[in-house]
């Protein structure tokens, strides 16, 4: 039986639980114009900058998807953007907000992924997270969540905190996944500088049971809107792609932005939020997929 405090409403998408209160990490960092930190990755004709580059739309239609990439690479940091997703029949669409270095480390790349997947059932978006380190792509580390809001009606924040202690995925500042850097996870923990990307593309063959529910371009163009971009962290040296001292990406900060004591572990409030998200909204974790992995990856057994 759901209590009134637990249940905000019940809709065709199932129960929508009221999220707990958590610290707002996004309030600690200053948002920046999209054009200040990002440049065109692909699909230039399907990218619309607005308000002198403060905001952006990225678009998928029959001709192309589109995407942006950061002008700098980072050893670690805090990366966040507010996204409003396309409405309607979005089966096969993929909106990705992620970090990667596959362009310079094609055989042992690192990756930290938010992937918002248009869903074939109930016209509902699904959120997937994933992580690779040192080319560990043979093991998929996906976790999937139903959202506790309609991501097409308003902007919602998707954030990644990455440092030497842990990686935290957050939605509207609520942690939904934490990957702790320890002996069990060292081999798959991202360790090399990465760029930040945000893209929209046709993932029909990958995201919908081998193309069973492809993108229906009758409903195109599909427009995703971006705002409140926050990037703060350790900039990669232009002369060294693997190591080097960190330079802060904001002159307003007097200390390292995401390696300080307050970022080494989750607070009590954040831990409560993490447990809430995983207990109420996560419906798939690779660590519980014994049919896929007869022997679970080492970080699942730690």
pLDDT in tens, 11-29: 445 566 789 999 999 999 9
The residue whose two tokens read 């990439």 is: 69
Q: 8 lies in a domain?
A: no
State the CATH number of the domain containing residue 224: 2.60.120.200
Residue 231 lies in domain: 22-301
pTM (2 decimals)? Answer: 0.91
Name the more confident of 220 and 209: 220
Q: 224 lies in a domain?
A: yes
Q: 38 lies in a domain?
A: yes
pLDDT reading at 254 higher than 50: no
C-beta of residue 195 within 8 angstroms of C-beta of residue 69: yes
pLDDT digits (tens, 9 = 90+) for 81-123: 999 999 988 999 999 999 999 999 999 999 999 999 997 765 6
Q: 225 lies in a domain?
A: yes
What's the structural domain count of the chain?
1
Mean pLDDT of the chain: 89
For the annotated catalytic residues, the residue numbers are: 111, 115
Q: Across the chain, where does the E strand assignment appear?
A: 7-11, 14-17, 38-42, 47-50, 55-60, 66-70, 74-84, 93-100, 111-118, 125-132, 143-146, 156-162, 166-171, 174-180, 195-202, 222-235, 247-248, 282-285
pLDDT at 273: 98
pLDDT reading at 266 higher than 70: yes
The residue whose two tokens read 């560990």 is: 136
Both tokens of 203, joined, read 């993932």
Q: 2 lies in a domain?
A: no
The residue whose two tokens read 């995983």 is: 278
C-beta of residue 297 within 8 angstroms of C-beta of residue 287: yes
C-beta of residue 214 within 8 angstroms of C-beta of residue 60: no
Q: 5 lies in a domain?
A: no
Q: 4 lies in a domain?
A: no
Closest CA to 149 of 123, 125, 165, 167: 125
């Amino acid at each position: 039986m759901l209590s009134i405090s637990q249940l905000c409403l019940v809709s065709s998408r199932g129960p929508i639980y009221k999220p707990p209160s958590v610290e707002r990490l996004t309030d600690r960092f200053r948002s920046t114009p999209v054009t200040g930190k990002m440049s065109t990755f692909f699909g230039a004709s399907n990218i619309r900058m607005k308000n002198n580059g403060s905001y952006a739309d990225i678009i998928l239609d029959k001709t192309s998807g589109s995407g942006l990439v950061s002008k700098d690479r980072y050893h670690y940091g805090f990366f966040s953007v507010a996204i409003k997703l396309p409405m309607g029949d979005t089966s096969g669409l993929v909106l990705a907000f992620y970090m990667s270095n596959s362009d310079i480390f094609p055989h042992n790349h690192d990756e930290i992924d938010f992937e918002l997947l248009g869903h074939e059932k109930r016209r509902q978006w699904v959120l997937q997270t994933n992580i690779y380190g040192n080319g560990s792509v043979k093991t998929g580390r996906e976790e999937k969540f139903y959202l506790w809001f309609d991501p097409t009606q308003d902007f919602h924040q998707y954030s990644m905190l990455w440092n030497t202690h842990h990686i935290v995925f957050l939605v509207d500042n609520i942690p939904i996944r934490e990957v702790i850097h320890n002996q069990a996870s060292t081999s798959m923990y991202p360790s090399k500088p990465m760029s930040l990307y945000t893209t929209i593309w046709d993932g029909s063959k990958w995201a919908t049971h081998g193309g069973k529910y492809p993108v229906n371009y009758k409903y195109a163009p599909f427009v995703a809107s971006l705002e409140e971009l926050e990037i703060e962290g350790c900039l990669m040296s232009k002369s060294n792609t693997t190591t080097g001292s960190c330079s802060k990406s904001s002159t307003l900060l007097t200390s390292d932005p995401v390696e300080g004591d307050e970022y080494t572990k989750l607070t009590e409030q954040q831990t409560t939020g993490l447990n809430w998200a995983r207990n109420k909204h996560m419906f798939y974790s690779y660590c519980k997929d014994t049919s896929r992995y007869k022997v679970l990856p080492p970080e699942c057994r730690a």
